[in-house]
Amino acid sequence: MHAKPNTTAGAPTAPRSGLVGVDPAQASSGEVGAHFAALAREVRAAGLLDLAPGRYYPRLAFNAALFGAGLVAFFLIGDSWWQVAVAAWMGMSAAQSAFMWHDAGHKAMFRGSAATWMGRVHANLANGVSYGWWVNHHNRHHSFPNNIDLDPDIGRRTAIFDMSQYDTRGPWQRWVVRHQGIMFFVLLTLEAYKMHRTSVLALLRRDVRQPWVEAALLLAHAAIYLGAVFIVLSPAIAIVFVLVQQMVLGVYFGLIFAPNHKGMEVRRGEESLDWLERQVLTSRNIKPSPLVDFLYGGLNYQIEHHLFPTMPRMNLGRCRPMVRDYCERHGIPYREVGLFTSYREVATFLHEVSEPARRGGKPAVDTA
């Protein structure tokens, strides 16, 4: 059963800027709460928040090798339907590179202009996504995860997380909502396209810093990517290549992010929880293993990542037992499940939320 949304009185407040790029332990104790301040002292004393850019170099080299292998295969195979396999490989490679812009955006890899350019190269140039738009979007998500009014990751979805959102959906979207337990995963094939489109709109609205720099990098991405595909491949194969690569990228994106919060506590309005409870109660971990850690880029440690967004990814696993023990000692629920269980919980949550829509009605208003 999905959690009942919090209906704290008061108008929604604007996100507090900077929490995603600044260690919350440095924020005022009134904002993050005594619980989190105590945990943060333990984590900081263990050195887990220390910047370690050198530990990212092997990952950057590995990602470059993944991309390079795909590029070599692309030119060696030439105009052949075997390029469908190359397209799938390049989709996976692009998703792996996205972890780099993610960590750069959190200032977990580098600081200052080095982080900005690392993000732009991996987001704008390699993936055709506006780094500036993504950072702004992701900042707000981290500040208020799973808050219907304040989390943009909820607002931009066709799927709903509470029936109060149903009236805002059009006819086609309402059909999707009625079947969202399945359609959510089907629509992940469009996730990369939606990010491209949103990026262009953000640049046209000049919602990012240095929009001309970001626009130039997006144009370079489009020219190099589409130019290579349509010069080397015949039109039919080229179109299929682009579709497969983008669909694999979108599905990979979605499958990485879907288990993180969906099916956890949903809230709305002005937040009343402190930083620790806000992040832990709305996040879900996936049980780690070498394969899971690789596929999820460390985001399977979602609770630790949300508590300490500037923490280098290689420290999240070491932080996990500290957070889990702290939550157990203080009676704070800590949710961690297996990979397939996480997707089952997501699908079940979405199916249950949309049950009133399939019945043609709405749930009774809880006045308690």
pLDDT for 362: 55
Instruction: Tell me, yes or no, whether 266 lies in a domain.
Output: yes
Instruction: Tell me, yes or no, whether 307 lies in a domain.
Output: yes
Amino acid type, 247: M
Contacts of 163 (CB under 8 A, 6+ apart): 353, 354, 356, 357, 362, 363
CA–CA distance, 268 with 98 (Å, rounded to integer): 29
In the chain, % of residues over pLDDT 90: 76
String of DSSP letters for 203-269: HHTT-SSSHHHHHHHHHHHHHHHHHHHHHHS-HHHHHHHHHHHHHHHHHHHHHHHHHHHTTS--EES
Residue 20, pLDDT above cutoff 80: no
* Span 178-204, average pLDDT: 95
pLDDT for 359: 86
CA–CA distance, 92 with 204 (Å, rounded to integer): 29
Instruction: Tell me, yes or no, whether 367 lies in a domain.
Output: no
CA–CA distance, 349 with 81 (Å, rounded to integer): 39
Instruction: Tell me, yes or no, whether 210 lies in a domain.
Output: yes
Residues shown for the chain: 368
* Span 308-323, average pLDDT: 96
String of DSSP letters for 110-166: --HHHHHHHHHIIIIIHH---HHHHHHHHHHHHHSTTBTTT-HHHHT-SS-SSGGGG
Residue 13, pLDDT above cutoff 50: no
- The tokens for 302 are 């979602």
pTM attached to this predicted model: 0.86
CA–CA distance, 102 with 138 (Å, rounded to integer): 9
Q: What is the mean pLDDT of the chain?
A: 88
Residue 15, pLDDT above cutoff 50: no
Specify the pairing of strand 6-7 against strand 285-286: unpaired
Helices 191-204 and 131-143 sit at what angle, rounded to 10 degrees?
100
SS3 285: strand
- The tokens for 238 are 């080229």
pLDDT tens track for 214-259: 999 999 999 999 999 999 999 999 999 999 999 999 999 999 999 9
In 3D space, the residue among 104, 12, 59, 108 whose CA is nearest the CA of residue 307 turns out to be: 108
In 3D space, the residue among 44, 33, 4, 106 whose CA is nearest the CA of residue 332 turns out to be: 33
The residue with tokens 């002005």 is 270
pLDDT classification of 155: cutoffs 50, 70, 90: confident
Instruction: Tell me, yes or no, whether 317 lies in a domain.
Output: yes
Structural domain count, the chain: 1
Judge contact between 80 and 237, C-beta under 8 A.
yes
pLDDT for 17: 34
More confident residue, 69 or 152: 69
Range with the poorest average pLDDT among 21-25, 171-175, 229-233, 320-324 = 21-25
CA distances from 219 to 201, 213, 345 (A): 14, 10, 40
pLDDT for 360: 78
pLDDT for 361: 58
pLDDT for 156: 78
Distance from chain centroid for Cα 206: 23
The parent domain of residue 207 ranges over: 24-358
Judge contact between 85 and 245, C-beta under 8 A.
no
Instruction: Tell me, yes or no, whether 9 lies in a domain.
Output: no
CA distances from 46 to 28, 192, 324 (A): 21, 38, 15
pLDDT classification of 32: cutoffs 50, 70, 90: low
Helices 57-77 and 211-232 sit at what angle, rounded to 10 degrees?
40
pLDDT for 21: 40
Instruction: Tell me, yes or no, whether 7 lies in a domain.
Output: no
Burial of 162 (0-12, 13-18, 19+ CB in 10 A): middle
The number of beta carbons lying within 10 Å of the beta carbon of residue 254 is 17
Instruction: Tell me, yes or no, whether 289 lies in a domain.
Output: yes
Residue 78, pLDDT above cutoff 80: yes
Judge contact between 126 and 117, C-beta under 8 A.
no
H/E stretch holding 271 reads: none
